[in-house]
Structures are given as structure tokens and as C-alpha cells.
Structure 1
């Protein structure tokens, strides 16, 4: 496979991850009654839109089509769409547990993408910047989930 083809494939996979992430957090904002969490999740949706745009811009430089779907069923990252039977009990704890699961999947996807040897250095730099922000989000969601466990 040509290097540019592989780069487009990796970028489109990450675009799918962000589509899943957006759908997951949109679902989470509906399922939670906690206004602070709704606000936080809305910010995370904004991050994914921003990251997706940056990735799509790079795909366009290769004159390729941008993937505008979510990941296929059976893909680990599909968990954002099939969130644990509508967040069992709709508690903040269960919503945060599912969000953390989605963030874990996002971290794995970025780690895998960055291990791809055929990506140009400038694209890896973009991915590393996004990964840093996403790691912060992951840690924030995990801390909130842990706090909910203590309160339960």
C-alpha cells in the first residue's frame, strides 16, 4: 500500500473514532440529568469536531474522500454507539463509566495510529497534540467516575 493511502486510512479511522465519540457524548448529555456533566460533555463534543476538522483537512491534502461514518460494528470503538443499554440506571456513575470506556478506546486508537511508520512526521505531530488533550479528558472522566464511586 502506498504511503499516502496508508496515511489516509489512518486519518479516516481516527475521524470515525471522533464520529463515535461525538455520538457517545451526545447520548451522554441526554442520559444524564447533571447539568455540570452536560456542559462538560458538550465541550468534549466540541473538541472532537475540532480534531475531526483538522484530520479531514489532512485527508483532503491527499485529494481523498473523508470518512463521515462511525466505526463498523464489531469494532471496539463502536461502544460509543451501543452504550450499555442506555446507561444502566442513568446514574452519573454509569454514564461516566461508559464515557471512560469510550475514552479508553480513543486512547488505544491514537496509540495505534502513532505506531504507524508510514505517517509523515507533521501528521504525527498533529496526532500527538490531539492525544495530549484527549488524555487529559480521559483522566478527567476517570477522576469524576472515581468520585462518583466514592459517593455511591
Structure 2
């Protein structure tokens, strides 16, 4: 197992988690009127994201790496696209929730790719797998919008 590859994969996941946190800040107060039952799940997702960030940061540091606390270029482009899309959308709540689902799907794919790469040490794999399960659970809650309306 190459420690540099492990650190690279963990930093990629940290960037995705940072993107997730920044993306959630764009959701603030845009959907609560139409989806009041979503607020508690959203707050849980934000809290989980910060915990995930801390876990990844610790794994990187324990392996002698330097955590990259930025987000990815792709995440910045996606957030800019969300802003443009929301400015033209009649139903900003549905558009915003749809973007959350899209972002969660992309994170799930990246986490699965990280696990499939074989570049993670056993401890890192356990943490990443646990985080993947959390991502899938939050994705599933947001996927069925009609169940969340008033």
C-alpha cells in the first residue's frame, strides 16, 4: 500500500466533503417553507459533513500528510451553475433539492471509486465505507421529494 496514494485519495475525499459543506450553505432557508420536514435531516447532514471532514483530516494527519482544506474546482463550478439555474427556476425549492440529490450522487460515486481503487489502508477504508453509508442514507432521504412536502 502506497502511503502517498492513500493521502491523495483521502485529500480528494476531503475536497468533496468541503464542497458538500459549501454546497449546503447554498441551501440555507431556500426550501424550508415548502419542505419543513426536511429541516432536521438537513441539519443532521450538515453536522455529519463536519464530522466526516474531521475524520478525514485526522486520517491524513495520522499518515503524515497535510490536509487540503479547499474544495474542488468541479465543486465551485457546480455551485456557480446552481446559482445560475436557481435564478431562472420558477420552483427554487425543487431545483435546490434536486441539486442536493445530484451532489450527493456525485459524492457517493467518488467514495465508491475511492474504495474500489485499492489505494486506501484498512483503517481508512473502514472510515470511508462508514461515510459512504451516511451519504447513501442522506441521498435516499432527499431523493423522494413528494414524501417531504407539507
Provide TM-score, normalisation by structure 1: 0.83
Kindly report structure 1 stretches of 4+ aligned residues shifted beyond 4 Å. none
In 2 relative to 1, CA 94–105 (structure 1 residues): closer, same or farther, beyond 3 Å? same
Q: Is the 8 A contact 2:13 2:111 kept in 1?
A: yes
> What does residue range 54-65 of structure 1 map to in structure 2 within 5 Å?
54-65=55-66
1:102 maps to 2:79? no
**Counterpart-to-counterpart distance in 2, 1:98 and 1:146:** 16
In 2 relative to 1, CA 90–21 (structure 1 residues): closer, same or farther, beyond 3 Å? farther
**Counterpart-to-counterpart distance in 2, 1:78 and 1:16:** 14
Could you tell me which residue of structure 1 aligns to residue 3 of structure 2?
Answer: 4
> What does residue range 126-145 of structure 1 map to in structure 2 within 5 Å?
126-143=127-144, 145=145
Q: RCO (CA 8 Å, sep 6+): is it higher in 1 or 2?
A: 2
Gaps of 5+ in 1: none
Q: What value does the CA root-mean-square deviation take over the aligned residues? A: 2.3
Provide TM-score, normalisation by structure 2: 0.84
Gaps of 5+ in 2: none
> What does residue range 2-151 of structure 1 map to in structure 2 within 5 Å?
3-34=2-33, 35-72=36-73, 75=74, 78-80=77-79, 82-85=81-84, 87=86, 88-89=89-90, 91-143=92-144, 145-147=145-147
